[in-house]
Amino acid sequence: MTANGKYITESAENLPYFLPKVKIPVGTVIPENDFSIPKLFTPLKIKNLQIPNRIGISPMVMYSAPHDGDKIGQVTPFHLIHYGSMALRGPGFIIVESTAISPEGRGSPEDCGIWNDEQAYKWKEIVDFVHSQGVKIGMQLGHTGRKTSLAALHHRLMKPVGKDQYGWADVPEQVIGPSPLSHRPGVLIEPKGLSIEEIQELVGKYNKAAKRAIEIAGFDFVEIHAAHGYLINNFLSGTSNKRTDEYGGSFENRTRFLLEIIDAIKGDKYPLFVRISGTEDADDQEGAWKIEDTLRLSDYFIQHGVDVIDVSAGGNNIHAKRRKNTPGHQIPLAEAVKRHVGDRLIVSTVGNIDSAELANSTVEDGKADLVLSGKLTLKNPGIAWNWADDLGVKIQPSLQYGWPFYPPPYN
């Protein structure tokens, strides 16, 4: 209420349109007397970043950026609606879909990019809306390596596409990896093995992409995608990296590319997340990445200034054992990492975490510090709000959505 007794709704800042201003960040617990807050809904500080609860939206590729014209790789109103609908309903933070550091780093012609400033400015429109709700948002930076230039997965096949379909699978020098080994021989393209000079150029592209994400788009943090069989993951695993120079062979050499990227983009003013496949799920194969390797790598992360390790699994090996998609099936990987690193590193987990009870017990029992939800949020963008209800917690949704559920008292 203003001084003259009139009720005027203030507008959110940094938006070119009217939107009611929030004073309490969406996702914050509304405390009640004699109530113990479940740990899932307690705040957490990550470097300079304060999040109101431990629930994050996991990166999910949407295949919705233009594949031709002068707006290739740019986000559209779809992305604003997609991420905005989640921001209105209470997550602790959002990580946007893997965004390519270069045109050939996209997984499909319809993937998003941040290899130029124009793309970053379009992302800023989304970031500003999410921030208007007091929600934190980060960008996942990626390069798909030897799994590049594929048809969007909503076509329900894994097939490379060439120039006649806006792809680049028929341009040999644009399909790259640490070694000339196809992810799926006879189906996917054999990549060109990178030279040391080309590796260093890629480190520079990650650096420039991170600067655009933070300085132009205004993201709160960045995440390096080093999982799921994409370029960095290709370097980490001995099944896909057969190099004999300083980027292959020993553990130290195979992790060098990732650590150089970390050193190139980390900053004092924003947190750095890294997503890793905790295991390749192919322990019977020589050189396969195992959980023991992830534990060893987590020590390097601590030394190099990583703030959060985001533990997923698989994706690098077509001979991997098929993981059953049972609720919380990847939590044991995060738990192993958390046991190893203790409080020296924040650990997040994923993997069909389908209930408030499972999510809360994961953080209450110290198996992970953060819980990420992916596919379930496509069905239900308000999953954090639902989980709060399930645990008997009131959280702050957007002003527009909250008042019917928490109405004012009537005189």
Q: CA–CA separation, 157 vs 173, rounded Å?
A: 24
Phi first, then psi: give them for residue 227, nearest 5 degrees: -125, 180
DSSP string across 51-105: ESSSEEEPP-----S-SSGGGTT---HHHHHHHHHHHTT--SEEEEEEEESSGGG
- Name the DSSP letter for residue 42: S
Q: CA–CA separation, 318 vs 334, rounded Å?
A: 23
Structure tokens at 230: 């994409």
- In this structure, are residues 390 and 362 in contact, taking their beta carbons and an 8 Å threshold? no
Catalytic residue, chosen from 67, 131, 228, 270, is 228
Structure tokens at 273: 């997340």
Residue type, 179: S
Q: CA–CA separation, 177 vs 318, rounded Å?
A: 16
Catalytic residue, chosen from 79, 183, 225, 247, is 225
As a whole number of Å, the CA-based R_g of the chain is 22
Q: CA–CA separation, 136 vs 141, rounded Å?
A: 17
Catalytic residue, chosen from 63, 83, 206, 230, is 230
C-alpha distances (whole Å) from 62 to each of 98, 111, 131, 326 are 10, 7, 21, 24
DSSP string across 295-356: HHHHHHHHHHT--EEEEE---S-TTSPPPP--TTTTHHHHHHHHHHHGGGSEEEE-S---SH
Instruction: Choose among 313, 153, 152, 160: nearest CA to 228.
Output: 313
Q: How far apart are the first and last CA of the chain?
A: 18
SS3 157: coil
225 given a catalytic annotation: yes
Phi first, then psi: give them for residue 31, nearest 5 degrees: -70, 145
Instruction: Choose among 408, 364, 93, 61: nearest CA to 230.
Output: 61
Residues with catalytic function? 225, 228, 230
